């Protein structure tokens, strides 16, 4: 009987500690997207990212992510409300469309494995369909494309997209639902 009682207490404690560690926030690298900018940056540094700087409520770090080296990690807050609401990952530049598309498809496959099918997905060029890599890059440069997948979870959204800004980049954006709603409520108060 004593062994059963001790086992029951142990199981109850284990379940209680698990419940306490499960966050209501979306996580990035296992860290809940919550807290002040300085708190979150400290957690990212502890996770192995190098701090590059901060400006206007946005911190930039660099490190390896999802098997890719030299990714830029953007941690963003609303300046008037120091609360982290989204994390961006800018993957290293691609010089060719085909390499960006390959990277995008690999990441999309991994995200689908983890979160299920995208809730929204558009991958197309506008107007004529380009055949060559250079034609596809021209479409990027003139913003004649839509290339994204959104993964919705109860804790927030993860968006994957291809972006052109002097170079081609694959970008991930993690938006925490609770903190995004809090920041929205704060913005509505301004109106």
Q: What is the pLDDT of residues 30-81, one digit of tens each?
A: 899 998 999 999 999 999 999 999 988 899 999 999 999 999 999 988 766 7
Contact call for residues 61 and 45 (beta carbons, < 8 A): yes
Does 183 score more than 90 pLDDT? no
Alpha helices in the chain (DSSP H): 2-21, 37-46, 97-115, 133-141, 177-190
Mean pLDDT (the chain) is 86
Residue 174 token pair: 């993690």
Q: Tell me if 147 sits within 8 A of 121, measured CB to CB.
A: no
Q: Which of 89-93, 112-116, 151-155, 180-184 has the lowest mean pLDDT?
A: 180-184
pLDDT of 156-179, one tens digit each? 999 999 999 889 999 999 998 887
Q: What is the DSSP track for 101-126?
A: HHHHHHHHHHHHHHH-S-SEEEEEES
Q: How far apart, in whole angstroms, are the C-alpha atoms of residue 73 and residue 41?
A: 10
CA–CA separation, 35 and 167 (whole Å): 32
Helix, strand, coil in percent for the chain, rounding step 5? 40, 40, 25
Residue count of the chain: 191
Question: Which residues have C-beta within 8 Å of that of residue 80, sequence separation ≥ 6?
Answer: 186
pTM (two decimals): 0.83
Angle between helix 97-115 and 133-141 (nearest 10): 70
């Amino acid at each position: 009987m004593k062994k059963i009682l001790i086992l029951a207490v142990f199981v109850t404690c284990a379940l209680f500690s698990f419940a306490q560690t499960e966050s209501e926030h979306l996580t990035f690298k296992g860290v809940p997207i919550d807290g002040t900018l300085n708190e979150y940056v400290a957690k990212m540094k502890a996770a192995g990212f190098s701090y590059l700087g901060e400006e206007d409520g946005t911190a930039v770090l660099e490190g390896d992510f999802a098997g890719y080296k030299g990714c830029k990690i953007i941690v963003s807050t609303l300046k008037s409300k120091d609360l982290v609401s989204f994390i961006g990952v800018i993957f290293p530049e691609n010089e060719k469309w085909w390499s960006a598309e390959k990277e995008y498809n690999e990441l999309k496959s991994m995200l689908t494995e983890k979160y299920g099918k995208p809730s929204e997905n558009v991958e197309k060029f506008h107007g004529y369909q380009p055949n060559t890599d250079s034609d596809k890059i021209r479409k990027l440069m003139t913003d004649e494309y839509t290339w994204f997948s959104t993964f919705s979870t109860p804790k927030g959204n993860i968006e994957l997209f291809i972006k052109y800004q002097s170079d081609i980049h694959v970008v991930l954006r993690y938006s925490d639902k609770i903190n995004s709603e809090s920041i929205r409520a704060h913005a509505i108060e301004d109106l």
